[in-house]
Amino acid sequence: MTQKDYTLAATIRVRYSETDQMGVVYYANYLDWFEVARTEFCRLSGIPYSKWEEDGLILPVVETHCRYKHPARYDDQIQLWCRITDVKIYSVTFEYRLLRASDYKLIAEGWTKHGCTNCEGRLYKKEHPFYNWLMSQEQSEQSGE
């Protein structure tokens, strides 16, 4: 897949508190940035997370992966790119690419897999209210629209 298959969800600036003793972004912060990308991607696509929760769909993270390519440092601006892949009735996967805005160097890439549950934490075993929307997002990403 190419960069054009992703949506620019947000741009953030690395805060000093996000760096470690070596002056680079602490590894766990990338997962926070994945969350920012995911929630902003959904908001930009017309269905913010708050709407999902109002309608009874909760998306707990059940699996994650992050590959660190180049270090991000204090005050870098980082572009957060996101797309939806692998939609099933009971789960959805979001993929991410994090680029340094100054030189478009790939900082990190990864994915999060989410269970599709109701408010009581039970997995959906049939189509939930947003299943068709998720499928349309996955298909538009695959077709390059």
CA distance 143 to 17: 39
Which residues are registered as beta bridge partners of 83?
95
- The alpha-helical segments, DSSP class H, found in 5-143 are 29-44, 49-54, 131-143
CA distance 25 to 30: 8
The upper half-sphere exposure of residue 25, i.e. CA atoms within 13 Å in the direction of its Cβ, equals 26
CA distance 26 to 17: 9
20 counts as catalytic: yes
| Beta pairing class for 77-85 and 7-13 | antiparallel
Catalytic residue among 20, 32, 55, 75: 20
Question: Which residues carry out catalysis?
Answer: 20
